[in-house]
A and B are shown apart, each in its own frame.
Chain A
Amino acid sequence: MTIKTFIIGMLASFGVAWMCIIAIPAAKMSALSPVKMNVEDEDAPYYQRKVAGRVMSGAAIYGANGCYYCHTQLIRPTYLGRQIWRKDAAGIYDKDEGIDTRRETSHYDYKDEDFARVGRMRVGPDLSNFGHRAEMYAATAGMSPAQWVMEHLYNPRNSELFVGNEGQKTDMGWSNCPSQKQMFDENTLNGQGDSLAISGQTTESTEVIPNEQALILTSYLLTLKRDDILPDMLTNKPKDVDVKEEEN
């Protein structure tokens, strides 16, 4: 083998692969054309995914603290995964009411982020629809969703956070989620205290309140709702099932 053969061989073998799996798909994915909600209707609107929250900066905090090592954000098709059937993981499913918004992840779901935080392992549950779950748990625990998320970040082993319908509490001692106490500050207590103070941590003179990191991360986590209705071209549900529209 001569050096010339070697160089040509290297360029060819690596270059073809590089073109086919990196350059071409990256270019194509950056140039996807918008999709109409349904193809038959001429006046159908284009699909738009609306997200309101601190996505970019929140996702950066999510990444810097390694949340993606234990949490994923991907609902796979049924030939690969079963999270779509897990309660509250892929959307909202209420059989009695006839609501089923569960769906697989679509490539629009990571809009506004620079890097899809698909995640590495599922030590903790998938977070694709964490926004919905946070609202549900917060309602039963009697606090606002943002408050509930921050309580969880402060101490994931807090057993007061998961309250069942009859008031029974779930013991969270099994959770290995690290506490993010660096996102909270201990401040002197002024008057009646801050509305976002972490429960159980207020002493006579101090209270624990979230700092900016907690607020931004919470804002991001509450945007994690990936069950909106997809256009016909992108949806994978069986044709005869009608999804009842959610009023939000």
Chain B
Amino acid sequence: MSELSHDSSAEDTQLRAEIDRSLRHPVMFFFTSGAAWLAVSLILGVLASIKSHNPEFLGECAQLQYGRVFPAHLNALVYGWGVQAGFGVLIWLMARLSRQPSRNAGTILVAGHIWNLGVSIGIIGILFGFGTGKQWMEFPTFVWPVLLAAYAVIAIWSLVAFRVRRGEHVYISQWYVLGALLWFPWIYLTANLYVNVFDVHPLMATAINRWFRQAMILLFFAPIAIASAYYITAKVTARAIYNYTYSVGGFWALAIIAPWAGMHAVMGSPIPVFLQYVGAAAAMLVAVPLIAAGVNILKTASQSGETTAHSPSLRFTVAGIFGMLLLAVLGLILAHPDAIAYTQFSTAVYGYEVLALYGFFSMCMFGAIYFIVPRVTRREWLSRRLIRTHFWFSIYGVLLIVLFCSILGGFQQGAAQRAYDESWSSAVLSMFPYVVATTLAWCAILYANIFFFIHLTLMWIRLGRRSSHPTLLRHDHTTVSPHGPEGDIEELENAKA
């Protein structure tokens, strides 16, 4: 049971290949357009960070001022990159785990284009002064129904794929993906109706907006990342998941706890105290399901340490899971009311968001992308050095942002604000080193992802390696490789024939 079998039966291979081929267009579209939006978001992120300590950088035109560039950066990261990477991974995961090729790839692709159109209009709207002013929901208000409709198409066909699945056993990843598919419309619709449509008390609208942000992180991005991690880990290491009951328990713990979290972001505002404190308690308690999933996945991967060092997919995934555990600890700290007194209105919030979106979710998505793209394009990645640069500079960048925004910077900013006898200028000046460090960290992440874009683009235009060998991060000069001799496939086959 614990032997790596690198020679699958023809049936299995045939089925996998068919599934991958059926979904090649929508999956590659989601990954490449997602990566393009990631590029946009990172450039805007670096610009926003510079603007926060040098407001006159690149002139004073309205479209590039901090208050517009920053929401554009954040929304591009969430809706342009995050959700689309999530779509790409979840439709592929669902199809593979349901063991059926997709028959609706064309429809999904069209929906993906509509999603992209919506996001483009939204980002341009923000930059040109039509943002709504509501965090994570800054797209002009006519955009959200368009996005929801595109989502519905993608979700329905994924649910259909699940419905027509073959095989008795439902793998844990499928439960998480199903969860994400059902939670997203509830969260999105609730938030947009209550905040943009219904006539509610202005403070409740704000509270629901903050709840939406937390719910997106915990009930859409986290489940997809965890689903991907469970799959990649089991696939690449060929080990059984450490404790299956724990993984299902972790899912239900997430389902029960996470919907309560979020309103602690407006603690101290005149909304019912119950909402504030239950939000804080749930945000802290959600560490339990995250620890459950993390321990499970890491224990499974640790049984095959060599593979983690070699495989890019597994390495990124494991890094993402460490990011998830760090997120759990950070959430535990930042949601406590004593910390909120310091960090509620500081960059700590931003550090938490970046860790969730990039340090956890994106790293898991990169792992999935490094796994899926070779299967969908039938090419292997070109350069292990590009992958390694992507990996290490991402790690550096994320750790720096978490350190300087959330841990050091956030508490410093809070402490400076609490010194009520000091002038405000001293509070601003004390943050200067942290903001500059944040800019440098984003530059590191941008640098990392430049190589990712180049690499992904080359794969997309079919310039990848044709080989039976995967691109691994370590080069072992073994005489006998389990994959057979290294080299271009055609030549090898022709040589054989």
A residues with CB within 8 A of B: 1, 6, 9-10, 13-14, 17-18, 20-22, 25-26, 28-30, 32, 59-60, 62-70, 72, 74, 76-77, 79-83, 85-87, 89, 104-107, 109-111, 113-125, 174-182
Contact = CB atoms under 8 A, between A and B. Distances in A.
Contacts of A70: 66-67
A45 B186 CA distance: 43
A159 to B, nearest CB: 12
B204 A177 contact: no
Interface of B: 51-55, 60-62, 65-68, 70-71, 129-135, 170, 175, 178-179, 182-183, 186, 190, 194-195, 198-209, 211, 248, 252, 255-256, 259-260, 263, 266-272, 275, 278-279, 337, 340-341, 344-347, 349-350, 413, 417-418, 420, 424-425, 427-429, 431
B419 to A, nearest CB: 8
Given A21-B263, A80-B267, A121 B349 contact: yes
Contact of B183 (A14, A125, A176): A14
8 contacts: A29-B272, A70-B66, A81-B268, A107-B203, A116-B205, A118-B206, A121-B350, A182-B61
Contacts of A28: 272
B436 to A, nearest CB: 12
Given A85-B420, A176-B55, A29 B201 contact: yes
A178 B204 contact: no
B68 A82 contact: no
Nearest to A1: B248
Contacts of B170: 1
Contact of B67 (A65, A76, A104): A65
A176 B53 contact: yes
A151 to B, nearest CB: 15
A29 B267 contact: no
B65 A65 contact: yes
A21 B198 CA distance: 16
Given A6-B178, A13-B256, A176-B55, A64 B130 contact: yes
A81 B417 CA distance: 9
B195 A115 contact: yes
A176 B52 contact: yes
B268 A14 contact: no
The 7 closest A-B CB pairs, nearest first, are A63-B133, A66-B67, A76-B268, A17-B259, A182-B62, A178-B65, A29-B201
A178 to B, nearest CB: 4
Contacts of A125: 424
Contacts of A63: 131-134
Given A9-B255, A66-B66, A66-B68, A120 B129 contact: no
Contacts of B132: 63-64, 115
Majority SS at the chain B contact face: helix
Given A14-B183, A76-B269, A182-B62, A25 B204 contact: yes
A86 B268 contact: no
A107 B67 contact: no
Given A13-B259, A74-B268, A119 B345 contact: yes
A120 B133 CA distance: 11
A107 B67 CA distance: 26
Given A65-B65, A69-B66, A69-B67, 15 more contacts: A10-B179, A21-B211, A22-B190, A26-B194, A29-B272, A66-B68, A70-B66, A77-B268, A79-B341, A80-B267, A81-B341, A122-B427, A176-B53, A176-B54, A181-B60
Nearest to A173: B425
B340 to A, nearest CB: 7
Contact of A174 (B129, B194, B429): B429
B8 to A, nearest CB: 28
A176 B70 CA distance: 14
A32 B271 CA distance: 12
Given A14-B255, A116-B269, A22 B211 contact: yes
Contact of A176 (B66, B135, B186, B413): B66
Contacts of A77: 268
Contact of B417 (A26, A110, A122, A174): A122
B107 to A, nearest CB: 23
Contact of A30 (B55, B178, B186, B199): B199
B179 A116 contact: no
- Most B CB atoms within 10 A — which of A110, A120, A181? A120
Contacts of A118: 203, 206, 266, 269
Contacts of B62: 65, 180-182
B202 A113 contact: yes
A26 B420 CA distance: 34
A157 B259 CA distance: 44
Contacts of A176: 51-55, 66, 428
A168 to B, nearest CB: 14
Contacts of B200: 26, 29-30
A155 to B, nearest CB: 9
Contacts of B260: 17, 20-21
Contacts of A122: 345-346, 413, 417, 427
Contacts of B345: 72, 119-122
Nearest to A122: B345
Contacts of A82: 417-418, 420
A106 B198 CA distance: 22
B65 A110 contact: no
Contact of B201 (A26, A87, A117, A181): A26
Nearest to A182: B62
A76 B278 CA distance: 18
A117 B186 contact: no
B85 to A, nearest CB: 24
A1 B175 contact: yes
A117 B206 CA distance: 8
